[in-house]
Amino acid sequence: MFEELLEDIAQKNGLREVNTNLKLATGLGAILLCLLSSSYFPPLFIALVLTGAILFLARVDPKTYAELFIVPLWFAIMSVAGIILISGGQDIFWKWNILPSFSLSVTRESINQGIFVFCRVLGGMSALCFISLTTPMTTIFTVLRQCRIPEIIIELMMIIYRTIFILMDQVVQIYTAQVMRLGYSTVKESIHSCATLCGAAFIASWDAGEDLIQAMDARCYTGKFAVLGENRPVERGPLLALFAFLSLSAAIVIFSGNSTII
């Protein structure tokens, strides 16, 4: 049911030991440039570079990475098809008047627009994947603290993070127990099993909450959560790579202007 979580991949990726701020800057900078660009080319360039980084530097399994892309990619293809058919233009290649007031058409402008949106999706997705596959959540807490996010929010995030995995374990166990006893063999049975699963998960989380308070009290809890996290020093190599990547991308954004594919 749940094979490998993104977090697990992030915990052992090849770029784990690189300074978190640099990795976040790479991802966020890439997203920003994708949004600023008005040509299809810069997002495509960003997508290629980041995909290369994910596959060769972070050494993420290509199959996992491809699977991650499939759902949003489908979504993107459908939307782009819609954009190409609906948005109009001057240079018409193909046109179909379904209703007097509504027609579908493929034009030069609509194709350019569709490809532009598609490339942006690719660029944005790869940037998000870059962050989630190279930066474990545990290191982001430190950055959040540096950003002066209130302690209470970070504490809640840390507790939630830890609890998710405990709850997940419980859910997997209950689900397996249900499957072993043919809990999902028919539709009716599936609905029933799913309801029981939710109920059991709720009770488990309630229990976990009570235990959490006990465990914290037993270690003298006074409202402090050790947020002294890890962060690696900024090293010259990654810093130069980040700088080169962002400035090259920015230059491409500027010079590609409004260039279109056809």
> Residues in the site for other proteins, rule: CB under 8 A?
7-8, 11, 136-139, 141, 158-159, 161-162, 165-166, 169, 208, 211-212, 214-230
> How many degrees, rounded to 5, is the angle at CA 202 between CA 197 and CA 206?
145
- Residue closer to other proteins, measured from CB, 165 or 206: 165
Q: At what angle do helices 20-36 and 108-134 cross, to 10 degrees?
A: 170
Please tell me the distance from the alpha carbon of residue 243 to that of residue 40, in angstroms, as a whole number: 22
- CA–CA separation, 127 and 250 (whole Å): 15
Q: For residue 58, give both structure tokens.
A: 């972070």
User: Residue 102: helix, strand or coil by DSSP?
Assistant: strand
- Asked if 144 and 235 touch (Cβ cutoff 8 Å), the reply is no
**Cα(191)–Cα(183) distance, rounded to whole angstroms?**
9
Q: Judged by CB, which is closer to other proteins: 91, or 211?
A: 211
Residues pairing with 107 in the sheet: 92
Angle between helices 151-180 and 137-146 (to 10 degrees): 160
What is the nearest approach in angstroms of other proteins to the Cβ of residue 63?
A: 21
Q: How far is the CB of 212 from other proteins (least distance, A)?
A: 6
At closest approach, how far in Å is the CB of 11 from other proteins?
6
State in angstroms the smallest separation of the CB of 3 from other proteins.
Answer: 14
Specify the residue, 98 or 210, whose C-beta has the smaller distance to other proteins.
210
Q: Least CB distance from residue 49 to other proteins, whole Å? A: 28
E-assigned strand segments in the chain: 92-99, 102-107
5 versus 92: smaller Cβ distance to other proteins: 5
> What is the rounded distance in angstroms from the CA atom of residue 128 to the CA atom of residue 25?
12
Residue placing its CB nearer to other proteins in the complex, 7 or 109:
7
Please report how close the Cβ of residue 233 comes to other proteins at its closest, in angstroms.
Answer: 15
Sequence letter at residue 78: M
Question: Cβ closer to other proteins: 67 or 169?
Answer: 169
